[in-house]
Amino acid sequence: MIYCGIDWAEKTHDVALVDDDGTLLAKRHITDDATGYKILLDLLAEHGDTEDTPIPVAIETSRGLLVAVLRTGKRQVYAINPMAAARYRDRHAVTRKKSDPGDALVLANILRTDMHAHRPLPQDSDLARAQQDAVWNRQQLANQLRSLLREYFPAALDAYLHWQNGLCRPETRVLLELAPTPSRAARLSLAQLRSALKRAGRQRRIDADAERIREVLRAEYAHQPPLVEDALGKQMLALLRQLSAACIAADQLAEAVEEAFPQHPDAEIILSFPGLGTQLGARILAEIGDDHTRFTTARGMKAYAGASPITRASGKKSSITRRWVKNDRLNHTGYLWAFAALTASPGAKSHYDRRREAGDWHAAAQRNLFNKMIGQLYHCLQKHILFDENLAFPTQLLEAA
């Protein structure tokens, strides 16, 4: 069997092919363009790569055009953590020498010796990841905008954060664009406020909200000097345009996920779990993939998600701590899932309460609940069955009753 390792870089890549004995069969330096990709595929074909028996590839990244080219067909692509690759490098050279061709050889040897200990990339779509990135970008810009408003326009925060997702709402963005400074905001009339709310799509409570906003904007607040206030207002408008673009992108990607995810064969099973809607379900599927053989046990999926604890023991000393090396996207989605399940599942709420009574902090109790539920998800996906509350939390439901 032949194994391939690719040391990835921004403009060029180094490729190494080894056989079962570790003998270096070929090495090549290729460019990061269509010509380089063709050279790589031709090199693999020369050494027996076919559609039915593709050569597995190890690389230190999971994204990009090179990975997309390699993932066509049945080929298994392994994204090796750079830290793990560095540890393997020390097995071959205690002097800690490093070179790009040498790293490609190390990656190929990782598959030759320990391919069973690494997981191939799932055949997933990047749509859910793109939507998650858009949401994170939107929140980051909203935090920057909030920080800027605190410096010169606290009345805006008092007036607009009254709404859920205050700074990301269309009403807030329209009103801030209409009056970017406290001096201009204090001069807004009720008619102008009503018109702005209607332009933003508001249909209910227009008069009540307009009166409340005008009262807040005309209250007594400290002010920056006029020139500083105007400059900060212009800075705020520039940031507001970025936030508006991020909000539109997040909404459009969410609509695309809503349309695509229910068509997947595993969607019905994932959506049967309490606390999982289309957006969170799509994110989970994007990270674990739809290959049901990718994780041999539920423990593997729990460790991959960072839900299960890790034990460090030496002699008489041992400690159990949270897991730091994990799939951050899946771990973040798991916290949201566990939080939403508290109101959607009596059994999940009872399990969480029991962990809190045992002394866990909120985050630890949530992580424990996520650990339990992702194990249940693994079981349901393997057995092709829907989630059953009575089977998932029998003891907790009895206690709650």
Is 124 part of a structural domain of the chain? no
- Contact criterion met (CB below 8 Å) for 282 and 289: no
Show the tokens assigned to 81. Answer: 């953590």
Judge contact between 291 and 300, C-beta under 8 A. Answer: no
Residues 136 and 73 in one domain: no
The residue among 237, 258, 279 that closes a domain is 258
Q: How high is the pLDDT of residue 65? A: 87
CA pair distance 270, 380, nearest whole angstrom: 9
Burial of 50 (0-12, 13-18, 19+ CB in 10 A): exposed
Expressed as residue numbers, the domain containing 384 is 267-400
Per-residue H/E/C for 226-237: HHHHHHHHHHHH
Query: In 3D, which of 270, 306, 263 has the Cα closest to residue 379?
Result: 270
Boundary (domain end) residue, out of 258, 293, 312: 258
273 in the same domain as 203: no
The verdict on residue 292 lying in a domain is yes
Total number of domains constituting the chain: 3
Q: Left (φ > 0), alpha (ψ -120 to 50) or beta: where does 51 sit?
A: alpha
CA distance 374 to 338: 10
Strand order in the sheet with 77-79: 24-31, 12-18, 3-7, 57-59, 77-79
Spatial contact of 111 and 105, defined as CB atoms under 8 Å apart: no
Question: Does one domain contain both 366 and 339?
Answer: yes
Q: 10 with 80, same domain?
A: yes
Please tell me the distance from the alpha carbon of residue 128 to that of residue 264, in angstroms, as a whole number: 13
For residues 326 and 387, state if they share a domain: yes
Q: How far apart are CA 310 and CA 307, in angstroms?
A: 10
Residue 125 in any domain: the answer is no
81 & 138 share domain: no
Question: Residue 401 has what pLDDT?
Answer: 60
Instruction: Tell whether 122 is covered by a domain.
Output: no
Q: Is-contact 48 137, C-beta < 8 A?
A: no
Cβ neighbours around 65 below 10 Å, total: 11
pLDDT at 340: 95
β-pairing, 24-31 vs 317-321, is: unpaired
Residue 190 maps to a domain: yes
pTM of the model as a whole: 0.74
Q: What is the separation of C-alpha 117 from the centre of its chain, rounded to a whole number of angstroms?
A: 24
* Termini Cα distance of the chain: 59
CA torsion through residues 253, 254, 256, 257, sign: positive
275, 345 contact by CB (below 8 A):
yes
Is 57 buried (19+), middle (13-18) or exposed (0-12) by CB count in 10 A? buried
User: 149 and 111 share a domain?
Assistant: no
Residues 272 and 379 reside in one and the same domain = yes
Which pLDDT does position 293 carry in this prediction? 84
Give the Cβ contact number of residue 306 at 10 Å.
Answer: 23
The reply to whether 22 falls in a domain is yes
* Together in a domain, 279 and 239: no
What whole-number distance in Å separates Cα of residue 173 and Cα of residue 401?
A: 47
Tokens 């994170």 belong to 136
142 is written with which tokens? 């909203």
Convert 50-96 into a string of H (helix), E (strand) and C (coil): CCCCCCCEEECCCCCHHHHHHCCCCCCEEECCHHHHHHHHHHHCCCC
* pLDDT of amino acid 123: 66
Amino acid 361: pLDDT: 93
Q: Within a domain: residue 273? A: yes
Residues 154 and 254 in one domain: yes
Residues 388 and 277 in one domain: yes
CA 107 to centroid of chain Cα atoms: 26
CATH number of the domain encompassing residue 103: 3.30.420.40
Cα–Cα distance, 262 to 274 (Å, whole number):
16
In a domain, 123, yes or no: no
pLDDT given at position 22: 86
> How many whole angstroms separate alpha carbon 190 and alpha carbon 223?
23
- Over the chain (401 residues), the average pLDDT of each successive run of 10 is 91 92 90 91 90 90 86 86 83 75 90 87 75 92 94 91 86 92 92 92 89 91 91 94 94 92 93 94 90 88 90 84 86 94 93 93 94 95 93 71 60
Enter the DSSP assignment of 126: S
What's the pLDDT at 400? 60
- For residue 125, what pLDDT is reported? 61
pLDDT at 269: 95
Cβ neighbours of 49 (radius 10 Å): 20
Q: Indicate the pairing of strand 12-18 with strand 24-31.
A: antiparallel
Q: What's the token pair of residue 176?
A: 């801030």
Which residue among 117, 142, 168 closes a domain? 117
337 and 250 in a single domain? The answer is no
